Structure formats: C-alpha cells, structure tokens
Amino acid sequence: MNNNNNPIGMIDSGLGGLSLFKHIRQALPNEDIIYFADSKYVPYGDRESDWIVSRTTHLISNLVAQGKCKAIVIACNTMTAVAVETIRAQINVPLIAIEPAVKPAVAMTMSKHIAVLATATTVKGKNLKSLIETYAQDIKVSLVPCIGLAEKIETGKAHTAEVKDYLKNILAPLVEQKVDTIILGCTHYPFVSDTIQEIVGRDIQIIEPSEAVTAQLIRQLNQYHLSSESPNEGNHIIWTSSDPLEVADVTFSWLCCINIQKLSSPQSIQI
C-alpha cells in the first residue's frame, strides 16, 4: 500500500523541536506532520538514561503504529544521545536524528576553540564524545551543560531578564577564552539565539543543525520514494502529554496557529 501521503512524525521532550519543525515545514510545505511534545516530562536532560530509552522507544513506536508515520525525526539531542541506536534497531521506517553540529563548527572556526551548549545528558553522552573524537581532534571544545535552560524556554521565559542573566553567566567565560563558534546543542536554544548573539557579539558564530537535519530528511524521503504526492498544503498537528492550553500559549507565540491535541483516548498514544 502506498504511504507517500502519510505524515512525518517528529518527537521532542517538549516544544524546543519546533525550531526544527519550522525548517521542515518551510522546505516541505506539502507534507503532513505530527509533532509529539512530551511536555509532561520535560526536560529529559536531567533524567536517567534507562528512562529516556524506554520512554522514547515507546512514543516513537506508537507514532509509527498509530500515527501511521512514514518517517521519524528525533528533534531532541538528549534522545539522540541516549536512545537512537536502540530505536534504529526496533522500527522499520527512516529515522533522522538531530545531533550537535560539531563537524560544521570545526570547518568554521578560526580560533580553533568551539563550544557546545547542551543539556547535561547530551554533554555526558557517547554520541557527542564520538562526534568530537571524529571531527574535532585538533580543536579545543568547551562543553557547557545548561542546567534548567530548556525548561525556562519551554515555559515561555525565553525573552525574560532571568534567562538573559543566566546566559550572560554561562557565556562570559567563553568570550574570555576566545571561543569563536558556539553550537546550540538543544533544539530549545535557537529560541534564545538572538539573545546569545547580543551577549557574545557578532564576531562569534552561532550554529544549529536544523538545516542539515531537514536536508537529510529530504534525502531519506527521496531515497525511499516517500515524498508526498499531494498538491495541497500539509496538515500540522501537535500531540502533547501535557495541558493543550499551556502548550498552545507557547506555540502560538512561536509559530502562530497550529492544531494541538492531548492524547488520552484508547485509540491514541498511551501517555
């Protein structure tokens, strides 16, 4: 049975992955997208690895089985860091997983000193370590665990004085150490990229992987002949494990209108 017009599934611990969703929606306007925001349990960055693997595997399996998703995009660096290999072995649709943009950062740096802003779990994870060992052997890499930042952004505090002061404290040492390239290693962080740029100045480059992930998704859809054949604009739905009204408040401020559903019926994803 042809499933070209089935939706693309996206998953994140919360709403941070909407920064990637915007890129995908713009590049693939005819594709239906189901975005699962597990906001009831955000942030994942402070949770045990076994819990993250179990939760992520369960939710993605249901996106495939019940959402009929033809491809899955993991829009959470913490999920990628901890669970991606387990998930690859268990699902039979293309899986595209976001990860910190170490390779492009190495190509861009002139000072040979880059920094990664990420959750504590991503900073400690094998995936980031492998990326650094593969691409940044001759580069100094400062790893900065941004405890609580994703949660602040998730709850609508991205543009508050509280978050700006937090960012000033973690960024000041990087400026002093002549870091010239900062990687945003969490999909929540692009929502404060303008504030980060203001603090560090225009001489420091800020990069995040949304464009590369979108390109990889397009390649996978083409490779497996899964691109939508519909001439119509795609439908976009957010499924959430949290209060839809709370999610709607944040989502509207970031993306304007989008359909949001809390999944609780027997026919929906178990949450």
Q: Which residues are part of a known binding site for substrate?
A: 12-13, 44-45, 77-78, 187-188
Annotated binding residues, as ranges? 12-13, 44-45, 77-78, 187-188
**What totals of helices (H) and strands (E) does the chain contain, helices first?**
11, 10
What are the start-end ranges of the H helices in 148-238?
A: 149-154, 161-176, 193-200, 210-223
Task: Please tell me whether the peptide bond between 173 and the residue prior to it is cis, using omega within 30 degrees of 0.
Answer: no
Residue 265: exposure state from Cβ atoms within 10 A (0-12, 13-18, ≥19): exposed
Closest by CA position to 258, among listed 17, 3, 5, 4:
17
Residues recognised as catalytic: 76, 186
Measured CA to CA, the distance from residue 233 to residue 235 in angstroms comes to 7
